[in-house]
Amino acid sequence: MAEHFNDEQREALYRVLHARRDMRHFSGGRVAPSVLQRILEAGHAAPSVGMMQPWRFVRITDGALRRRLVGLIEEERLRTAAAMDGRKDEFLRLKVEGARDCAELLAVVLAPDDGTLFGRRTMPREMALCSAACAIENMWLAARAENLGMGWVSFFDPDDVAALLNCPEGARPIALLCLGPVAAFYDAPMLEQEGWRSRVDLSEIVSENGY
């Protein structure tokens, strides 16, 4: 073990990191089982506080179940639009998710709290959530390196999704991941391309010895 990475490998990592996009446009197709397996393994290789490994991955293969999830997403999209003041029409013109067209739909669920104290006595819920988010980021990067798109959909009521997926008490769906082939990756984040919001300069978010 104790791998040493050379310039070429490091460059590959950075290229994947910077080419990763939150995709909402998919071109159907399928994800080979071996590829899906590698992506799930990448998620499961994430760090977790106290080694909780609190992530659960639910693969949606049932068409009727996917349609019900798509319905929940659409309901929340409209509720979000209703809550937006000046930008409602602009928001409604954006494509915010690809759950109908993606090859694979995966739900990521935060498992019920197992009582781990290690590293999370002061921030129990936050640290479990952060661990699951690291797993999703790993999957996102793995998908991009497999030349597949991934999108994290958070337009849903977590209680409704929990009910649809028969989640036990205390489990919390945090993501519906759209995964699959895409015709093209966005050159920049789609919300930036569409003029919704801009990237902040790195200098504005880094400081020394104080916020």
- Residue in the structure block whose two tokens are 């978010």: 205
44 binding a copy of itself? (CB under 8 A): yes
d(CA 170, CA 112): 5
Positive or negative: CA dihedral 186, 19, 104, 68:
negative
**Per-residue CA distances from 102 to 34, 47, 98 (Å):** 18, 27, 6
Nearer to a copy of itself, 56 or 103 (CB): 56
26 binding a copy of itself? (CB under 8 A): no
Residues numbered 4-23 forming contacts with a copy of itself, rule: CB under 8 A: 4-5, 8-10, 12-20, 22
d(CA 38, CA 186): 24
104 binding a copy of itself? (CB under 8 A): no
| Contact letters for a copy of itself, residues 60-99 (x by CB under 8 A) | xxx--x----------x--xx--xx------x----x---
Give the residues across from 151 on adjacent strands.
Answer: 178
User: What are the contacts of 7-16 at 24+ separation with CB within 8 A?
Assistant: 16/141, 16/144, 16/145
129 binding a copy of itself? (CB under 8 A): yes
126 binding a copy of itself? (CB under 8 A): yes
Q: Answer for the pair 123, 42: CB distance below 8 angstroms, yes or no.
A: no
Nearer to a copy of itself, 28 or 187 (CB): 187
Instruction: Out of 33, 34, 93, 206, point to the residue binding a copy of itself (CB under 8 A).
Output: 206
Smallest separation, CB 51 to a copy of itself (Å)? 4
**Per-residue CA distances from 159 to 17, 170, 173 (Å):** 32, 10, 8
Which burial class, exposed, middle or buried, applies to 105 when counting CB atoms under 10 A from its CB (0-12, 13-18, 19+)? buried
Instruction: Out of 31, 102, 103, 109, point to the residue binding a copy of itself (CB under 8 A).
Output: 109
Residues numbered 132-191 forming contacts with a copy of itself, rule: CB under 8 A: 132-134, 136-138, 140-142, 144-147, 152-158, 165-168, 171, 174-175, 184-185, 187, 189, 191
34 binding a copy of itself? (CB under 8 A): no
Smallest separation, CB 18 to a copy of itself (Å)? 5
